[in-house]
């Protein structure tokens, strides 16, 4: 089904008022039942990433970080089982996984002797059980699994889809008996840029 500019704009306008969660994506599907899940997710991701880039800086000021951290502490102090971080991210219109990163970094700065490295932060976001605080680990986990645009879970899904398409393309090239070099072969030959495949013999394409 071809998506018109007017249809795209209608979907994009609808996204202005919804948080980037899987629940919102389900509501979007109900609102636009004629569009595929993949189409809606693609538009959802593109529009939200534009929004995050526009507003990223304001969430990373020292004042904003301290405000978020104190609100997190107050929230879990009242009810540690409630989705405090997820609700905070939705309230301030910021990606849940990115909010989790802000709070995790601030927590570690307060409780560790040395500033946390990026690799340590990334490892804890991929596996929240490594976080040395059970309540925060649960809060981070809730953010990760409910974020459909950012975070390690989304990265894994994107990687899996990319690998699947690479396998399909390789099978197609072999089926058509086309000579090609794959990424590993290109890297071994010293190529700086390594696309999935490069055809060794040019192929002409024409209309049937």
| Model pLDDT for residues 27-80, shown as the tens digit of each residue | 888 888 888 888 888 888 888 888 889 999 999 999 999 999 999 999 999 999
**Position of tokens 């595929």?**
36
Does residue 208 register a pLDDT over 60? no
Q: What is the DSSP string of 46-112?
A: HHHHHHHHHHTGGGGSHHHHHHHHHHHHHHHHH-TTS-HHHHHHHHTT--HHHHHHHHHHHHHHHHS
| Model pLDDT for residues 178-203, shown as the tens digit of each residue | 888 888 888 888 887 778 888 888 88
Does residue 143 register a pLDDT over 70? yes
Categorize the per-residue pLDDT at 111 as very low, low, confident or very high, splitting at 50, 70 and 90: confident
E strands, the chain, are 180-182, 197-199
């Amino acid at each position: 089904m071809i998506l018109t500019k007017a249809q795209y704009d209608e979907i994009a306008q609808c996204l202005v008022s919804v948080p980037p969660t899987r629940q919102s994506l389900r509501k979007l599907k109900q609102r636009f039942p004629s569009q595929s899940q993949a189409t809606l997710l693609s538009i959802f991701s593109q529009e939200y990433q534009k929004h995050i880039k526009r507003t990223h800086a304001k969430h990373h000021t020292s004042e904003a970080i301290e405000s978020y951290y104190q609100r997190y502490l107050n929230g879990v102090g009242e009810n540690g089982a409630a989705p405090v971080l997820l609700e905070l991210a939705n309230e301030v219109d910021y990606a849940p996984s990115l909010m989790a990163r802000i709070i995790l970094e601030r927590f570690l700065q307060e409780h560790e002797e040395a500033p946390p490295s990026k690799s340590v932060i990334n490892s804890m976001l991929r596996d929240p059980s490594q976080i040395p605080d059970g309540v925060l680990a649960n809060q981070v986990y809730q953010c990760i699994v409910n974020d459909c645009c950012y975070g390690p879970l989304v990265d894994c899904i994107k990687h899996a889809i990319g690998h699947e398409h690479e396998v399909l393309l390789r099978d197609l090239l072999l089926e058509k008996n086309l000579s090609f070099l794959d990424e590993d072969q290109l890297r071994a030959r010293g190529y700086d840029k390594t696309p999935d495949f490069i055809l060794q013999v040019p192929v002409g394409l024409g209309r049937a």
